[in-house]
Amino acid sequence: MRIDFSQLCSRWAALLPRRRQATHWAVASLRPGQMSAVVVTVAAAGARPQVLHAATLDHDDTLPMADALSAFARDLQAGGQGWALLLPRDDYRLSVIPEPEVPAAELAQSVRWQLAATIDFAVEDAAVDFIMIPTREHAPQRTPELYAVAARGDRVNAFAALFRHARLDLRAIDIRETAQRNIAARLERDDELLVMVAFCDDEVQISFSWRHELYMDRLIAEPACHDDDAERRATACERIRMQLQRSLDAVRADFPFMQAARIVLAGAPDGFLAQLQAGLFDPVEALLPDTLFDLTRVPQLQDARHFMRHFHALGVALRDTEAAR
């Protein structure tokens, strides 16, 4: 599905990937004063996706100028291919709401109407999408729910205009939660609750997925801890351990068909892996970037801190793969 930016339609190409045998994406992440991008190709089922380029460039404004973005794309040898945008977290709101009991043709509009009371910007101008939380088969007694995302219309239009003026083919917009789901999906084993903890520079994002579907997410809106003080680091890790344990207990209570779990840490600070392994009953392991991606073209991504700066953009690049459902 292509985004109709001119109409800002109610369904946008953010959450539901198009599945193809092979994919090749350039993914941009734009923040005030900085833009970064990755170029990733996935050639065959079972093969590691190959990262062709990963780069970051500073600029002097809230958004880069179109000519700067265009030059950046040329430097990445990605000027003529399809692009996706990782939407900044401040530009969208993600909510869990009951699935409206309406005909399928009316679902999108009903979701938009329900979101009106929960967001702090005009829903009429918002770009809205949703993904189901699939419980009907395994918990038919449970009220069906869905994840609904609403993005600020003015910001989506500004991004669309920027890519249009840069002569880049912006085909999709994605968000951090589904990007992380895409990475988790490639790590899951059969009937396993995959808990992924992503330690980013400014936040810790925790996702709970099963059979390639996102069932719950938690956000700690501050960095975990990169402090050299051992006591402060241990205290920060204990807070995360408690959040993980409470969330695991909640998931198992809400979704009793999920019991076997594995916890994967991406970019954890030194010492966190051992402390969480000692403090949690479920197995805990570290994500090694080069076991998930072929990094021969960009060996700098083998460094965990550098890898985490591109973590969610890399997840967006997996949006069309068979594992990203």
Q: Is 193 exposed, middle or buried (0-12, 13-18, 19+ CB in 10 A)?
A: buried
Strand blocks (E) in 102-243: 127-133, 145-151, 169-174, 193-199, 204-210, 213-220
User: What is the predicted pLDDT for the residue at 107?
Assistant: 92
Q: Of residues 124 and 275, which shows the higher confidence score?
A: 275
User: What is the predicted pLDDT for the residue at 231?
Assistant: 87
Q: How far is CA 235 from CA 88, 90, 143, 226, 245, in A?
A: 29, 28, 38, 12, 15
User: What is the predicted pLDDT for the residue at 7?
Assistant: 37
> Distance between CA 65 and CA 72 in Å, rounded?
11
Domains of the chain, earliest start first = 1-183+296-325 (3.30.420.380), 188-286 (3.30.420.40)
Q: What angle (nearest 5°) sits at the alpha carbon of residue 167, between those of residues 161 and 171? A: 70
149 three-class SS:
strand
pLDDT band at 152 (very low <50, low <70, confident <90, very high): very high
**Whether residue 154 has pLDDT greater than 60:** yes
pLDDT band at 34 (very low <50, low <70, confident <90, very high): very high
Strand partners, 266: 198
**Whether residue 286 has pLDDT greater than 70:** yes
**Whether residue 311 has pLDDT greater than 80:** yes
Give tens-digit pLDDT for 177-224.
Answer: 999 999 999 999 988 999 999 999 889 999 999 999 999 999 998 888
Give tens-digit pLDDT for 224-245.
Answer: 876 678 888 899 999 999 999 9
Q: Using the 8-state DSSP alphabet, how is residue 272 labeled? A: H
Q: Closest Cα partner for 292 from 208, 214, 182? A: 182
Give tens-digit pLDDT for 85-121.
Answer: 999 999 999 999 999 999 989 999 999 999 988 888 8
User: What is the predicted pLDDT for the residue at 14?
Assistant: 56
Pick from 10-14, 102-106, 137-141, 226-230: least confident: 10-14
| String of DSSP letters for 18-85 | PP-SSEEEEEEEEETTEEEEEEEEE-STTSPPEEEEEEEEE-SSSS--HHHHHHHHHHTT-TTSEEEE
Tokens of 314: 């890399």
Interval 10-37 mean pLDDT: 72
pLDDT band at 61 (very low <50, low <70, confident <90, very high): confident
Strand partners, 170: 83
> Distance between CA 155 and CA 91 in Å, rounded?
7
For 96, the enclosing helix (H) or strand (E) is strand 92-98
User: What is the predicted pLDDT for the residue at 22?
Assistant: 54
**Whether residue 4 has pLDDT greater than 70:** no
pTM for this predicted structure: 0.91
Give tens-digit pLDDT for 265-279.
Answer: 999 998 999 999 999
User: What is the predicted pLDDT for the residue at 122?
Assistant: 86
Q: Of residues 40 and 233, which shows the higher confidence score?
A: 40
User: What is the predicted pLDDT for the residue at 324?
Assistant: 61
> Distance between CA 206 and CA 219 in Å, rounded?
6
**Whether residue 292 has pLDDT greater than 90:** yes
Q: Is 46 exposed, middle or buried (0-12, 13-18, 19+ CB in 10 A)?
A: exposed
Phi, psi of 110 (to 5 degrees): -65, -40
